[in-house]
Amino acid sequence: MLGLALSTPAGAEARDISRDTLAPNDGWAAADGGTTGGSTAGRSAGGAAMGGGASAAPSWLVAPPLSASLERGDPHRGGAAYRYSPAPLRGAAEPLRDISRDALPPNDGWAAADGGTTGGSTADEAHVFTVRNRSELVRALDGGSATPKIIKVAGTIDANTDDDGNRLTCADYATDGYSTREYLAAYDPRTWGSAKPSGPQEEARQASAARQAERIELTVGSNTTIVGLADARNTAVLKGASLQLKGADNVIIRNLELRDAYDCFPVWQPNTGGLGDWKTAYDNIWLRGATHVWIDHVTVSDKGHPDEKEPTHFGRNYLRHDGLLDITNASDLVTVSWSRFADHDKAMLIGNGDTATGDRGKLRVTLHHNEFESVVQRAPRVRFGQVHLYNNRYVVPADAHDHRYSIGVSTESAIYAENNAFHTPGHIEAADLVKSWNGTALHQSGTLFNGYPVDLLAINNAYNSGSERDLTADVGWTPTLHTKIDSAATADRAVARGAGAGRVP
């Protein structure tokens, strides 16, 4: 049931008008004794009007408290007119809760280990910032310093802007004679072959890419909390930005939408097999050697520029985006919770190389209560890490452009997956959900596939035995750091309602 919320200009103060009577001489209703309404009604102990022995009105009939005075909002006195509007389902009439000093709760995944994750919760008031544009955000980040800091993002911040806030396009970044048309002509495999691109156009591409990177790559240092001032009515968005956590420790990112980390200058990477691919540079969030990181209630997508709408060059899709969230280079002790990853190709990579043996013993990550919707692959793909994957929701829409797999089992990965729910159209089978490259094991239990319980491990081994080695169920560890693990069905409903930015309880 929707309530009716009375809205008025910001700053108006509430005044109780419930016992007001009609002013003298205010029209015909002032005649013959005037009009007083229920102003003489008695009160119950709880304060509600309770005339005689009548019972209180049911809660769904009671209007919410008025949020303004008539004097401040009366349009006849220069104020804005009142208007009734449906109250949001999540109680947006309440003030936005300040989550900026929250720490990760105990036992909430790998980021709770070894002292936990507190972000910038100890920041002094001089290092608490509310930012509304790129320049303010850059100043608040302080070059990636380790000083405890809290950064509150208000509204939409576009990283592709100059210091005066003017929008920058790909043409503004292009330099040294770079041209997409000339680049394509120079490195067409039919004439260039399979050699790595070199020469004037590749050099110009690199110089142009460096100009864009200078604007959109934003370094996040240790002891930092970044939160969006987002709720059911307000959004907090980082558009076109790539948050870079390089060797950072103790970072929290919450209640924020990150969208469209668009690469203006993809590079062509040929190979000896005759086909190459387009390589892009920017993840919306990239952890490299980062530790103790909590990412919660974020929404990450390609919103505005889906790669499937890009043209094809050299027989390959002209990609503009890399990962939504990549966790690489021995990053460790990470929890990703109640977040939404959508409308993207390669969503999440944990471990970026089969030969990166320095990742052994690292890449410990918990993913819980997240939604992956319209994601082609890597949800996630894992190398080396001990990854706990529980109570997540996967949705492949009927009109999805492509789907390759959801869970990628790669070199020395140890994925413990339990109580996850998958929704797919008829042409996507349970055997399409897991893909293995040199993987050896996958623990799975409690999986729901279109509402039915399935054993992903048994299905994978039965359907892919001809092309991949069978996976065992022994991943060598059992998670101990986690919140309550619900059934897949219960979690599925909760995640559909509660994952993503603007939905922090």
The answer to whether residues 244 and 362 belong to one domain is yes
Inside any domain, residue 32: no
Report the pLDDT value the prediction gives residue 420, as an integer from 0 to 100.
99
- The angle formed by the CA atoms of residues 359, 389 and 225, to the nearest 5 degrees, is 70
The answer to whether residues 77 and 121 belong to one domain is no
Q: What is the pTM of this model?
A: 0.81
Residues in the chain: 505
Inside any domain, residue 423: yes
- Strands 434-436 and 217-219 turn out to be unpaired
- The residue assigned the tokens 């919770």 is 337
Inside any domain, residue 103: no
The answer to whether residues 67 and 115 belong to one domain is no
Q: Which domain holds residue 56?
A: 1-24+37-87
Long-range residue pairs from 42-51, CB within 8 A, at least 24 positions apart, any chain: 49/18
The answer to whether residues 152 and 287 belong to one domain is yes
Buried residues in 67-102 as b, exposed as e (16+ CB within 10 A):
ebbeebbeeeeebeebeeeebeebeebeeeeebbbb
Inside any domain, residue 101: no
Inside any domain, residue 121: yes
Inside any domain, residue 6: yes
Q: How far is CA 119 from CA 68, 107, 132, 353, in A?
A: 37, 16, 21, 29
Report the pLDDT value the prediction gives residue 76, as an integer from 0 to 100.
29
Q: How far is CA 69 from CA 5, 9, 26, 94, 146, in A?
A: 14, 10, 19, 18, 46
Sheet strands (E) in 302-423: 312-313, 316-317, 325-328, 332-337, 340-346, 348-350, 365-368, 371-377, 381-382, 386-390, 393-395, 407-409, 414-418, 421-423
The answer to whether residues 274 and 364 belong to one domain is yes
The answer to whether residues 216 and 283 belong to one domain is yes
**For 161, which DSSP code?**
B
The answer to whether residues 182 and 310 belong to one domain is yes
The answer to whether residues 216 and 313 belong to one domain is yes
| Residue 378 a catalytic site member | yes
Inside any domain, residue 342: yes
- Are 217 and 244 in contact, with CB atoms under 8 Å apart? yes
Domain count, the chain: 2
Query: Based on the number of CB atoms within 10 Å of its own CB, is 258 exposed (0-12), middle (13-18) or buried (19 or more)?
Result: buried
The answer to whether residues 43 and 137 belong to one domain is no
Query: CATH no. for residue 222?
Result: 2.160.20.10
The answer to whether residues 120 and 82 belong to one domain is no
Of the CA atoms within 13 Å of residue 282, those in its CB half-sphere come to 30
Active-site pick, 378, 381, 383, 503: 378
What are 161's strand-pairing partners? 167
- Residue spans of the chain under pLDDT 50: 1-14, 43-93
Inside any domain, residue 77: yes
Per-residue pLDDT tens digits for 239-278 = 999 999 999 999 999 999 999 999 999 999 998 666 899 9
The answer to whether residues 218 and 315 belong to one domain is yes
Report the pLDDT value the prediction gives residue 423, as an integer from 0 to 100.
98
The answer to whether residues 189 and 68 belong to one domain is no
